[in-house]
Structure 1
Amino acid sequence: MTQPAFSRTVLAGIDAACTAFAGQEHVPGLAAGIVQQGRLVHATALGLADREAGRPVATGTAFRIASMTKNMTALAILSLRDRGQLQLDAPLAQYVPQFAAVKPATRDSAPVTVRHLITHTAGFVTDDPWGDRVLGMSPAELDEVIATGHLFARPPGLAFEYSNLGYALLGRVLTNVSGEPYQAYMRRTFLEPLGMAHTTFDAPAAARGDYAWGYRLDGEVWSRERVEPDGEVGAMGGLATTVLDYARYVALLLDAWPARDDPETGPVRRSSVREMVLWHAPPFVPDPLPGARAPQPSAYGYGLTHSSDALLGMRIHHAGGLPGYGSHVLMLPERGWGVFAFGNRTYAPMSRLTLQIAEMLHAASLPPPVAAPSPALMRAIDAVVAAYASGRIEAGDRPFAVNFLLDTPARLRDAELAGLKERLGEGRLESIAPIHALAGRFVLACANGRLNGTVTLSPEADGGIQKLVLSAAVD
């Protein structure tokens, strides 16, 4: 089912929210985009890309997106994994030989692996202030960090701790395994195939065109941040891009849903994109955003954070921050929506805006379509409906797994049915909500209320009901 386009009134409200946010957060210039069903359906551009010259932001203005680069780096690592060129659980030293000389955190520490790096569980210290100022690091300087740095805060694999150094090392992995510089691999694998012609790691070159200069505000005094050059560690946060370009990348990620049998058309497998958003690191509850709903349980995947949002469903997101910039991308894969926003003020909290926009879209949209139940699930629910009507669990078609009547004998099931029917009266099937192909919830509308049920099937070829839970909701 294709979601209808959002109305002009809704989009005008989103533009107004962007304007209000820029004023409240003192962001000189802002650009935002909404991706729906694989294309950019709305873009907002407001404020100034250059305060001194009075040049406005446009949809083609380039902003630095900082750590939003990380998920593209992670996806590049998976592209090499998918081709059999590296293993996620191989020791890092296999691909970065200099790392073999690094003293482990403790004598009994496991080796640092590529998977540790992409999940921020290598044991390195969180290093945003340092990382944000060293994008121009040379290969020799990174080698020196590897050789002489104090790398470990704790042994690898014990905790999530956000590490720019870890992603810098992934850039070295990509260079060494692919046989070409990280930036060249990224251009060839992603930027060129996706038509992202105005996206680059070379911020000084981008600054010669339509570029959003980065600013900081100290009290009431504005100053322009220096342009951090491209270097050896761009994999941790070096990209500069535009609304028009970045929408193409968001569309690539969202195209991985739903899982299907269609031919692969992207630079990476759809299953690898979906793998990125699984909970690969220890879960946490984020700090609350001012004025927002209570935060939802979250965990880091590969370059993306996955939050289980009670309102929006599966929410995939990542922030970016550099001196002069703030950015955020938020995706709702189950709906095919993506929202992203860029601002040119140091560490502008763009995640507040993207969440607000997503909630506005949710409020203005139809409920997500419910998937059709699988034939096996439909057969099982029909059997439960027949059993309720007759008062005998073994009436009619009985698709039971071997455990079902052993766990709860038929006489007890029949007594349960009789008790429910005495309270609720006759019923008819009202709705089915599949959880997946082998489980679902259903509702019977009854004379005196509703019968709520959840059924789970067994994994056999001709699977039957292995679990059935019934409850009454009396009017």
Structure 2
Amino acid sequence: MSFAEIDAACTAFTQQERLPGLAAGIVQEGRLTHVTTIGLADIEAARPVMAETAFRIASMTKHMTALAVLALRDQGKLVLDAPVAEYVPQFAAVKPATRDSASVSVRHLMSHAAGFVTDDPWGDRMLGMTPAALDALMAEGQLFARPPGLAFEYSNLGYALLGRVLTNVSGEPYQSFIRRTFLDPLGMARTTFDAFAAMKQDFAWGYRQDEGQWSRERIEPDGEVGAMGGLVTTVPDFARWIAFLLDAWPARDDPESGPVRRSTIREMGLWHSMPWPLELPGAVPEATAYGAGLMNSVHGKLGRRLHHSGGLPGYGSHVLMMPERGCGVFAFANRTYAPMSRLTLRLAEMLHDATATPPLPPPSPFLAQAVESVVAAYAAGRIEVPGAIFAGNFLLDTPARYRDAELASLKERLGEGRLERIEPTHALGGKFTLACARGRLKGTIILSPDARPGLQKLVLTAEPL
């Protein structure tokens, strides 16, 4: 695959979805490796989209907000499971969903589990809400669809409240805290919450189409709801952000170099809400749940992917990261609610198909020794070979004579074998393959968490020729 094929896929998508303009970026190995730009940033002036054209990215702002909350948690300035009212006193006036409802926590807000009604159409027009208006909403609004913690309800209001939490806890405006914590350290000079300031440079105007006619959408100003979807950014700037996030994988002992700890970034992908099957056009639904500002899905081809969409009147966007591959794909468009997740998934699949499978990490010494003992046991036809280390449960669960009979049966079917590969899942477990005369022997192994880890589980499967 060449980047020309990426450009062709973006062009076809732009035509199919009737987008005025599109910008897409690919991040690999810590840098922006390709940019695609198509169409117009300004229809009336016939001004094309360029690499430095700024787009509103809407709800893709949420994972930056969530990471900012986690950064304050790391600093010991807030507790995720504390009631929101502890940091936003006005929230104490909010009438609970039921008399026996649990208090809404910061974690509930981050994971869309506060029980608030889903509010996309309303919230997308509320970016310019004033502090007084948010206070009034907390005092008088009908916020709840159900009690907190019972289900996933995507809530822009929840992230607006996180912006207020960040303001009150940090002691400075949310936007200022984000700039000081992330934007300035990462060199994201063209990224801002002030769309009107962004308009003074290369800016993509947002459009809608009615009865074949394009018209500009109203640009909402920066305000109290900016924490849910107010960012304006460019492809080079956003690539810096994605490279920063992807650098959190794999977990390792290197010195920390980013604005927040790598482990904190990885925490964003942990599921904190009810899982649901994410429906994809023409594909098998994916197991998906919301973490902290990012969705975590298990894709049949790509494996685990972290992603989030964004949509506002005039704009659509999506980011997809494959952390185990160190790769990210994102795309912006200037048409109302453009379905950019369909494009990023297509581009990610193209990249997956064109790149080699990442090399496996070496097995830990404990895992390697355990696999070697199983290989020796298979060759000897008995499980208790010299050097084998068993956990206390292993031969109690399946006595040696039954293990020996299993080995004899497998060897009769497959013949002699040699170790072909070890695929670690982690330091204390993984899979291995023996190439045998008449097929392959597949094994899954888990070690015990002892000072000297031993075999606690072993599953062997024959794959005859």
Which TM-score band (shorter chain)? over 0.9
User: Which position in structure 1 is the counterpart of 2:423?
Assistant: 433
Are residues 1:20 and 2:12 paired? yes
CA distance in structure 1 between the partners assigned to 2:356 and 2:51 by the alignment: 28
**Ranges of 4+ aligned residues in structure 1 off by more than 6 Å:** none
Where do 5+ consecutive residues of structure 1 fail to align?
1-8
Q: What's 2:236 paired with?
A: 244
**Does residue 270 of the first structure (1) align with residue 270 of the second (2)?**
no
- Alpha-carbon displacement from aligned partner over 1:432-460 (angstroms, at most 9, x marks no partner): 11111101111111111111111110000
Among 98, 105, 108, the residue aligned to 2:100: 108
**2:395 alignment partner, one of 400, 405, 411:** 405
Query: Which one of the candidate residues 346, 358, 361 is aligned to 2:351?
Result: 361
Shift of 1:219: 2.3
Alignment-derived partner of residue 463 in structure 2: 473
Partner residue, 2:362: 372
Match of 2:306 among 296, 313, 316: 316
TM-score (normalizing by structure 2): 0.99
2:291 to 270, 280, 301: 301
Once superposed, what is the RMSD of the aligned Cα atoms? Answer: 0.8
| CA deviation map 1:11-55 (0-9, x unaligned) | 000011111111110100100000011110101111000000000
CA distance in 1 between partners of 2:383 and 2:365 (Å): 20
Aligned residues of 1:88 and 1:114 also touching (Cα < 8 A): yes
Give distance in 2, aligned partners of 1:369 and 1:385: 23
| Percent identity of equivalent pairs | 72
Helix, strand or coil at the partner of 1:345:
coil
- Paired residues in the alignment total 465
Q: Is 2:177 the partner of 1:185? A: yes
1:327 corresponds to 2:327: no
Give the C-alpha shift of residue 473 in structure 1: 1.1
Q: Say which SS state the counterpart of residue 316 (structure 1) adopts.
A: strand
Q: Structure 1: which amino acid aligns with 2:269?
A: V
d(CA) in 1 for partners of 2:111, 2:315:
24
| Deviation of 1:288 (Å) | 2.1
Distance 1:103 1:222 in 2: 43
Residue matched to 1:4:
none
- Selected match of 1:254 from 246, 261, 265: 246
**Distance between the aligned counterparts of 1:229 and 1:59, measured in 2?**
24
Equivalence map 1:139-158=2 (5 Å): 139-158=131-150
The match for 1:453 is 443
Q: Could you say what secondary structure the match of 1:331 adopts?
A: strand
Output one character per residue of 1:233-285: Cα deviation in whole Å (capped at 9) or x when no partner: 10000000000110000011001001111111111111000000011111111
> Are 1:162 and 2:154 matched, yes or no?
yes
TM-score, normalised to structure 1, is 0.97
Paired amino acid for 2:392 = V
DSSP-derived class of the 1:328 partner: strand
Which moves more between the two structures, 260-269 or 57-66?
260-269
Task: State the alpha-carbon separation in 2 of the partners of residues 187 and 431 from structure 1.
Answer: 47
Counterpart among 250, 255, 273 of residue 281 in structure 1: 273
1:422 maps to which residue? 412
Q: In the alignment, which residue of structure 2 is the partner of 1:200?
A: 192
Checking the alignment, whether the CA contact within 8 Å between 2:279 and 2:286 is kept in structure 1 is no
Q: Give the equivalent residue in structure 2 for 1:6.
A: none
Q: 2:89 aligns with which of 97, 100, 110?
A: 97
Q: Distance in 2 between matches of 1:430 and 1:288?
A: 37
Give the superposition deviation at 1:296. 1.3
Residue 411 of structure 1 and its aligned partner are, at CA, apart by: 0.8
Whole-Å separation in 1 of the counterparts to 2:273 and 2:457: 31
Question: What secondary structure sits across from 1:466 in the alignment?
Answer: strand
SS at match of 1:334: helix
**Offset, 1:294:** 1.8
Distance in 1 of aligned mates of 2:438 and 2:328: 43
Q: 1:391 aligns with which of 368, 381, 399?
A: 381
Counterpart residue number, 2:77:
85
